[in-house]
A and B are shown apart, each in its own frame.
Chain A
Amino acid sequence: MINKVRDLAKKWLKGKEVDAVFGLKEQGGYIAPYLFTDANELDNLTLSTDYRLCYTCRPSKENILSLMQRGEPNIKIGIIARGCEERALIELAKRGQIDLNRVKIMGIACTEQEARECKCEKPYPSSLVFGERVEGTAKDDNVNALLNKSLSERLAFWRYELSKCIKCYGCRNVCPMCFCKDCKMEQEIYAKTGWLPPEVPMFLFIRFYHLSDRCIGCGECEKACPVDIPLLTIFKLLRKDVKDLFDYEAGMDVEQEAPLLTTLDETPMREEVTSGV
């Protein structure tokens, strides 16, 4: 599959369909996101599930694509996107962070094993170019285990899990949807400086709530967590709830407004976007 991806990327670059291709580059045994502008370099293009391309840069707290588009307003970027990355792009475009017209998506599907490792529900992009479409894992043992618990057992479970938190902000930093300049998780009232563990359940509740209608289910937060807090459990449940309550799924339809930004009859009440592309 990698050869096909390289060939198409070369074709895009040579045919001036895109000005640059954003993908993962392997160099000296290391893999990192890289913006390919020279077709000859594309032999180093590689695929890996370990790195996401749609990440938010720190400390400027801007999505990498948003930064690129801002810096170079006239270029078109080709991006090699998996299912989760495509969902992230759609959700970012909806929230005024990037311009989808200046992005060309090369959709690649994940293998069954990759999907299982990520506990992914939809391991393929809607605009699939390469790879076989495999169904995601609908069942998650953590979710079922949580649902089978009583309220007091759940509280005991989360009290233990959340008190492991070392406030590294890893979950927020890897999240493609966490792009707020002012993060509530940094405010003194919710996360006291020099205090560990952070207030249970306040600290992580902030992320649970703020991402309830944004979470694209990539599972990066759970993978990044150094103390293995099962964050994805709640996000998966919330994705389902938001679908049941508001008939909305994050990262699916760029036209559909997010439910927390609309009135009860789904009229948009957009706040003024002061930054963005």
Chain B
Amino acid sequence: MAEFEPKILAFCCNWCSYAGADLAGVSRFQYPPNIRIIRVMCSGRVEPEFVVKALSLGADGVLVLGCHIGDCHYIYGNHRTKKRMAILEKILGYLGIDPARVRLEWISAAEGRRFADLVTEFTEEMRKLGPNPLKKEVIA
């Protein structure tokens, strides 16, 4: 059997992280192709339900990427995200899903290198964690 390739979903905010991902591409930094990016206007738009939905539809890991605290285009959008994700991690832990599968990181528009490094590192981590146990539960 072929080696397990994790599927990773990333929610990138329009103003910083998506631009950071774009910079990584423009600068030709190499990173694994396991990542699929969904652009959202703000990381505050990412409801924890989105993350759970992604996990239950078979994503092995979910990245939520936003602007650094203080840099949010909508002033306090990422404050919300940070608080939500803290609670989300707790609930996932209680439900038996490894909270390491979900990660919140801040990527600015200038941090193309960091984006590439993060995706590389996260992909490796998910590869070690193995397939998402919720995958079997897929209900279309």
Contact = CB atoms under 8 A, between A and B. Distances in A.
A2 interface: no
A264 B49 contact: no
Contacts of A152: 96, 133
A134 to B, nearest CB: 29
Interface string A212-239: 1100000000000000000001100110
B84 interface: yes
Interface residues of B, number: 27
Contact of A192 (B76, B88, B137, B139): B139
Interface in B25-56: 48-49, 52-53, 56
Nearest to A237: B94
Contacts, number: 89
B139 A201 contact: no
A273 interface: no
B79 A200 contact: no
Interface residues of A, number: 40
A1 interface: no
Given A158-B95, A199-B56, A260 B84 contact: yes
Given A205-B91, A209-B87, A151 B48 contact: no
A209 B83 contact: no
A57 interface: no
Interface string B76-92: 10011011101110110
B67 to A, nearest CB: 13
B76 A205 contact: no
